[in-house]
Structure 1
Amino acid sequence: MIKTTSAELLPLLEGCARSDRKSQENLYRLFYSFAMGVCLRYCRNREEALEALNDGFLKVFNNISHFQPEKHEPVPSFVGYLKKILIHTAIDQYRSTIRTSQTVELEEHLVPAQDHTESPLDGLAYEDLIGLIRQLSPAYRAVFNLYAIDGYSHEEIARQLDISVGTSKSNLAKARLNLRELLKRSHEERYSKYA
């Protein structure tokens, strides 16, 4: 979690608006861990995540004068602003890589509807879940993160990723199935050591 106060953040934002390099460096350092966590959920590896993180911060620095923090909640409003930019930057990066590969859209009716009973992923440690998510294909990972973690609707995901709503739903269902299989394998590997 980000540990900063309005008294610390607001002068940094003002400095960044003046293109003060020291303020930019301090803001980057202050939010680096948070930003890297967001980017790692969308990217295949640390190098891609770092690229998305740096591109995202560059966008923040170039557009910081347009950001208007909420008076009573400047830290949470900046966190939301930064997170949105990072997600969109990672999605743009995903789009640029997906253009080089062939995509296949599936109709919604080809994937069986998932029941909404308790998931085998419930109760899994956050770090373990992120590790499993990073093993998904880029298409499944992007949809899963946007829907399950960041709360986007399938319509919003379809617009963001330039896919159909049916493809978004299909990719989410397949991501969940893949995560269940990865979790099962991880569980079996962990406990086979003790057999």
Structure 2
Amino acid sequence: MPEYNSAVLQELLDGCLQKNRRSQELLYKQFYGYAMSICLRYTRSREEAKEILNDGFLKVFTKLDSFDASRPFKTWLSRIMINTALDHYRQEVRRDVFDDVEVAEQVSVDETVISKLSHEELVGLIQRLTPAYRLVFSLSVIDGYTHEEIAEQLNISVGASKSNLSRAREKLREMLSKISIDDYDRVAR
């Protein structure tokens, strides 16, 4: 399906609204990769991401009647997957501590190292962050949420959101510098 708001997509969505299993399966398969890429950014493992993805698609199928067909389906799907990941976080990982700091400094990352990494490697680095850092980083940097929106979603202060983003960037910078050092060591041998 080249266009996500095409007649073919609308036909699939209509079938899903009628609880047609084949339409649900086709919609799931069509958007699996896109939805999984979102879920992977918010989880530590592929298994956890798949659990969130399946929960998210269950929500898609049960709430499809609330989808506004005049808007892009991918945007609506993305929002459901992000909210499902946040719900999962709230249920499973409440023990993480969010730090509260009024001012968070920006940390620069070596763009040369980033440009050499594949998408999977970048997602792998993000997955290695603590859940609190991973959530704030993904919401802010990848999905474009403001610190105010993040604070509201995660029930933390704006300062905690800024602090966690700063610390996530610092951790990523440390991981990226380690990759640079490891690459240098391999070349030097």
User: TM > 0.5 between the two?
Assistant: yes
Contact 2:101 2:162 in 1 (8 A): no
The corresponding residue for 1:105 is: 99
Unaligned segments of structure 2, at least 5 residues: none
Please give the secondary structure, in 2, of the residue aligned with 1:68. Answer: coil
C-alpha change, 1:40 and 1:167, in structure 2 (3 Å) is same
Contact 1:52 1:90 in 2 (8 A): yes
- The residue type paired with residue 101 of structure 2 is E
Measured against aligned partners, the alpha-carbon deviations of 1:136-165 in whole angstroms (never above 9, x if no partner) come to 111000000000010000000001111111
**Displacement after TM superposition at 1:106 (Å):** 2.2
Counterparts of 1:114 and 1:157, CA distance in 2: 17
Please give the secondary structure, in 1, of the residue aligned with 2:56. Answer: helix
Counterparts of 1:130 and 1:121, CA distance in 2: 16
Identity across matched positions, percent? 49
Please give the secondary structure, in 2, of the residue aligned with 1:51. Answer: helix
Among residues 137, 143, 146, which one is paired with 2:130 in the alignment?
137
**Displacement after TM superposition at 1:131 (Å):** 1.8
Please give the secondary structure, in 1, of the residue aligned with 2:128. Answer: coil
**Displacement after TM superposition at 1:8 (Å):** 1.8
**Displacement after TM superposition at 1:35 (Å):** 0.6
**1:90 aligned to 2:77?**
no
C-alpha change, 1:49 and 1:24, in structure 2 (3 Å) is same
Unaligned segments of structure 1, at least 5 residues: none
Count of aligned pairs between the two proteins: 184
The corresponding residue for 2:145 is: 152
**Displacement after TM superposition at 1:128 (Å):** 2.6
Counterparts of 2:31 and 2:177, CA distance in 1: 34
Quote the RMSD (CA, aligned, Å). Answer: 1.8
Contact 1:52 1:89 in 2 (8 A): yes
Please give the secondary structure, in 2, of the residue aligned with 1:193. Answer: helix
C-alpha change, 1:60 and 1:152, in structure 2 (3 Å) is same
Q: TM-score, normalised by structure 1?
A: 0.88
Counterparts of 2:187 and 2:51, CA distance in 1: 40
Measured against aligned partners, the alpha-carbon deviations of 1:26-75 in whole angstroms (never above 9, x if no partner) come to 000000011100000001101110011000000000011111211xxx6x
The corresponding residue for 2:161 is: 168
Bigger mean CA offset, 145-154 vs 118-127: 118-127
- Mapping of 1:12-27 within 5 angstroms? 12-27=12-27
**1:114 aligned to 2:109?**
no
